[in-house]
Amino acid sequence: MISERHKARETALQALYELDLTAHPLVDVLAHSVAENNLSEEGDQFVRELVDGVVTHRMEIDEQIRQHAAAWPLEQLAMIDRNILRLAIYELLHNNKVPIKVAINEAVELAKDFGADSSPRFINGVLSSISHLATR
């Protein structure tokens, strides 16, 4: 059974993907993402917190991706991988509500579910190199 927080991370990832792909307003993306995924009030709040956090810190997060995945220009990364990284880096560096290992494992699971065959390994490598910056 999928945990509520994992389902919320999936929903947040889908919202971030849509924001990256379209010019839809954040408010609209969040409203329909939350409505479609039938989450609890706590899950809805977690989705909003994650998406708002990534959007707020996106420039800094993208700079971390550029530094720690230098062989892969940000614009050339698969959109799903880019948004999994953004979500996890937000949790690692700004959210501080879950252990580092949990944030990385959740991102790897998202990569297994939504990314290419090489995505989990790539995501794990980038996040492992960033994890030393996280303070707990």
pLDDT at 23 over 70: yes
State the average pLDDT over residues 29-44.
89
pLDDT at 2 over 80: no
Cβ-proximal residues to 10 (8 Å cutoff; 6+ apart), any chain: 2, 37, 110, 113
pLDDT at 1: 55
In terms of C-beta distances under 8 Å and separation of at least 24 residues, what long-range contacts does 77-80 make, across chains too?
Answer: 78/115, 78/116, 78/119, 79/17, 79/20, 79/21, 80/13, 80/17, 80/111, 80/114, 80/115, 80/119
Rounded-to-integer distance, Cα 114 and Cα 123, Å:
12
Rounded to two decimals, the pTM is 0.94
pLDDT at 135: 66
Per-residue pLDDT reduced to its tens digit, 37-96:
888 999 999 999 999 999 999 999 999 999 999 888 899 999 999 999 999 999 999 998
